[in-house]
Structure 1
């Protein structure tokens, strides 16, 4: 990995409350003029002038253009300055790595996607450094600080990473990233990140309490309440693939059997086992299976049964958590053909809860990682108590921390 980039960790300046309010507003709502900010924050002109001047002095705010009023008056529009910095979000999955760099106002600066096949956890983790270097090469970042790197992984994330395959490879990677770029490194579960993204910019953005169910190669759930992820005591909240299954007088529940049964590989195996000769060869992928629903009675029956299975799982989650909304995502869950069946089962087994498809598709996880990094960076910059996360490598020698 190239270490041409060098940065010491940036301390947050001691901002006044009014300056923090202005910075928070522009980061969340975009560029604005002083009159617009005064109206939104109910600040007097002297207070607003002092806050803007304070932020300009630290290069956290800068003129972004001129706003021309209807009667010919002009006013300066302010946006984030160069020292506000940027963050990186990385989705390190089992088939790809996606990475996005964004400013704290959400403006995208660069993106990298690296697909791969048949790579072990160790091999995937080593690619993270290459992806970060590629992302840096896409834009001029030397004059602005990197505030945080958030990495989403298909694993339970805990302070010690004791349940992490490839832990011995990942920890040195995190240490090298922190040393080379001088930025805090956060880890989060991939489904939790997808849930966070759908909450902020997807199907759940108008709800205060939503759960995101990933149904695809694997099965998982992310829980978001008032913008905060619920992770549980050891980071395992939402691991619905571990639920005891099946429940039967004749069968014993097996380890991760929900995830095995609900996974796309097992779905295709069941499809192949019942596929009739007169309908041609069985589907080779779940996308092919769903594409055949309109023409194939067998495909339709298999998808309808899978919708009932997903509905059973969703009803169990509703009975425990009582959310406002269920968002279905993942390679299988995002298919609209499942939606009606899932809704019917949830209504039948518990009580009516709105169920929708996710809006962000395969970008949900990386966008959630970016959101996690922005939340972390803004909390530090504003000197506020932020949302709980795992910060590495320091989390390996400390309990779960608040950011």
Structure 2
């Protein structure tokens, strides 16, 4: 199946891409309907559909009544043609999923990281192989793995750096390690970038060509979508707002490692501020939000302070990028109390405040984004003759037309 198009000329690849797109987007569909929609000859379409069927990418699914009482066979994408594994690696937990090439997420799991992430490679391999075995999926059918990581991914070295919330990660060549064992291409991507892509594909970002996604959880990060593309920046660090300078904060070694903004606007900041202001050694974030709901003045003050820091970062980014929308997510950012205070402070800071909305996909945004990228990688490798002319190393072009 991997060599379906290996010997094909570029024109044939273009035609195959057009045929496959129609089957994916509009199947079940007959060969005649594909020919009409693509403008290709019936003979060309018939040859390409036969090739795709023989190699397992499409399958017969029924028939339709044609002219003069004739019936025509209809085709659709074969979901069992291949599978992708998607991973969302956070600072404390690991989310995994297995999906077929139709975009159906067959199963997803969530588990705590062991030993502070020191066993991340083994845990990922165990989780992925466990899902493959559970659903009786042959390893040869695994076509792509996409892993979201809490750090900056250098596209040249394909390694992770600047990962303060999972310090074991930069010491592991995760991409090479997974690829060698699983035998499938592996792509690493920043976890917040994945969430932004997820919202662009199936969430609240679908109606916006340019938006920012701010995730506030253990730390804080941003995914940037500009003109329908994920923007990574020159070194993969676009959206790392945790390192945005906060002028009224002292920069010591710890602040420099995690980032000035992250030290005052994140889940860890909420815990630290509450302990400092109240003298109460609270260890769990939900407890602070529960106290705020009960009228605890210190808890309310802390949430407001952290929301103000987040609003400053959003406002600063908005003045530079001019996005249409900001989506707020993450275990902390996704809480309605945080959304309300961020909106309040943005309105206080800006004459024309950027609209801020809660993300639609919640905790699944990262996995959905990983799935979108995985399907795009499979499509590009097996059917697309070339990448778009405007695609650069620091961009990720998301073609909605060829993703189920």
**TM-score for both structures, normalised by structure 1:** 0.81
Range moving further from structure 2, 72-81 or 13-22? 72-81
Q: Distance in 2 between matches of 1:122 and 1:286?
A: 24
Post-superposition CA distance 1:143-180 (Å, at most 9, x none): 96322111111111103237365468522x54343233
1:327 partnered with 2:327: yes
Residue from 112, 123, 131 that aligns with 1:115: 112
Contact 1:215–1:330, Cα closer than 8 Å, also in 2: yes
Contact 1:19–1:54, Cα closer than 8 Å, also in 2: no
Structure 2 partner of 1:346: 346
Q: Give the secondary structure class of the aligned counterpart of 2:161.
A: coil
Contact 2:92–2:117, Cα closer than 8 Å, also in 1: no
Q: Give the secondary structure class of the aligned counterpart of 1:90.
A: strand
Structure 1 partner of 2:288: 289
Structure 2 partner of 1:270: 273
The within-5 A match list for 1:183-222 is 183-222=184-223
Pairwise CA distance, 1:361? 1.9
Pairwise CA distance, 1:43? 5.6
Structure 1 partner of 2:236: 235
Contact 2:325–2:355, Cα closer than 8 Å, also in 1: yes
Structure 2 partner of 1:88: 85
Pairwise CA distance, 1:231? 0.8
Structure 1 partner of 2:142: 146
1:32 and 1:103, CA in 2 relative to 1: closer, same or farther beyond 3 A? Answer: farther
Range moving further from structure 2, 174-183 or 219-228? 174-183
Structure 2 partner of 1:385: 387
1:310 and 1:127, CA in 2 relative to 1: closer, same or farther beyond 3 A? Answer: same
Q: Distance in 1 between matches of 2:73 and 2:235?
A: 49
Structure 1 partner of 2:401: none
1:401 and 1:310, CA in 2 relative to 1: closer, same or farther beyond 3 A? Answer: closer
Q: Give the secondary structure class of the aligned counterpart of 1:203.
A: coil
Pairwise CA distance, 1:370? 2.0
Pairwise CA distance, 1:46? 5.3
1:300 and 1:163, CA in 2 relative to 1: closer, same or farther beyond 3 A? Answer: closer
1:357 partnered with 2:358: yes
Post-superposition CA distance 1:349-368 (Å, at most 9, x none): 33332211112222222222
Q: Distance in 1 between matches of 2:371 and 2:108?
A: 11
Structure 1 partner of 2:372: 371
Pairwise CA distance, 1:101? 1.7
Gaps of 5+ in 1: 1-7, 391-399
Contact 2:266–2:306, Cα closer than 8 Å, also in 1: no
1:245 partnered with 2:246: yes
**TM-score for both structures, normalised by structure 2:** 0.81
Q: Give the secondary structure class of the aligned counterpart of 1:260.
A: coil
The within-5 A match list for 1:45-194 is 48-65=45-62, 76-81=73-78, 84-116=81-113, 119-142=115-138, 145-158=141-154, 159-160=156-157, 161=159, 163=161, 165-166=167-168, 170-171=172-173, 174-194=175-195
1:10 and 1:210, CA in 2 relative to 1: closer, same or farther beyond 3 A? Answer: farther
Q: Distance in 2 between matches of 1:142 and 1:187?
A: 23
Q: Distance in 1 between matches of 2:64 and 2:278?
A: 64
Q: Give the secondary structure class of the aligned counterpart of 1:186.
A: strand
Q: Give the secondary structure class of the aligned counterpart of 2:118.
A: helix
1:144 and 1:227, CA in 2 relative to 1: closer, same or farther beyond 3 A? Answer: farther
Q: Give the secondary structure class of the aligned counterpart of 1:137.
A: helix
Post-superposition CA distance 1:270-322 (Å, at most 9, x none): 2244449xxxx786432233334443151334333333222112101111211
1:364 and 1:82, CA in 2 relative to 1: closer, same or farther beyond 3 A? Answer: closer
1:11 and 1:44, CA in 2 relative to 1: closer, same or farther beyond 3 A? Answer: closer
1:307 and 1:402, CA in 2 relative to 1: closer, same or farther beyond 3 A? Answer: closer
Pairwise CA distance, 1:9? 6.3
Q: Give the secondary structure class of the aligned counterpart of 1:289.
A: helix
